[in-house]
Amino acid sequence: MKYKRILIFGGPGTGKNWFGERLAEKIGYKFFDTDDIAWKKRFTVQRSWEEKALMLKKVAKKDKWIIGTGATSYVEPAVKRADLIVVLDIGFFRSTYRIVRRHIKKTRSGEEKTLSGPIKLAYLNYLHHRARRKKGDVFLEGLMLKYPKKVVVMTQREKREFLEGVWGEGF
């Protein structure tokens, strides 16, 4: 196998879970979402930094995994062990559309009670994209400098092409 440990980075609405779940299904690996590590009860009771770091460290020690994350502060053990680091880079409007659409679906299904969630996320998404335009992505640039052979930045199209070509890549 060419890649045993794959780390997927991206902001809200970039398709980390979509990509990670489909890739895991194709190659038979377990997919871990750091949202499940960060929260005791999803999006209501957050774990401490120490708890998150310890839980992620345990996952990173496994032989094979795919981890999807938007976090940067406690993921170093996974960064170090990853054979491939995929950074998903899609535009502001597409990611904002996805965030709002996802929350509207959850509101209609009764999973969420208010629409304030997508508005806050859309605003945070705006701040994230604005900061990247102004200062550049310091975290991503650091990753690329430290691990130039294992960091790949993918657009929406490249993400789909990667999934289509997985079997030819030696998985």
pTM of the model: 0.79
What's the residue count for the chain? Answer: 171
Q: Domain limits at 48?
A: 5-91+138-169
Is 156 a domain residue?
Answer: yes
**Do 11 and 17 contact (CB within 8 A), yes or no?**
no
Mean pLDDT of the chain: 83
pLDDT at residue 83 in the model: 96
Chain segment 47-100, per-residue pLDDT in tens:
899 999 999 999 999 999 999 998 778 889 999 999 999 998 877 777 777 777
Q: Spell out the alpha helix ranges (H) of the chain.
A: 16-27, 34-38, 49-60, 76-81, 92-109, 116-135, 138-146, 156-164
The CATH number assigned to the domain holding 45 equals: 3.40.50.300
Total tally of structural domains belonging to the chain: 1
Is 115 a domain residue?
Answer: no
Is 110 a domain residue?
Answer: no
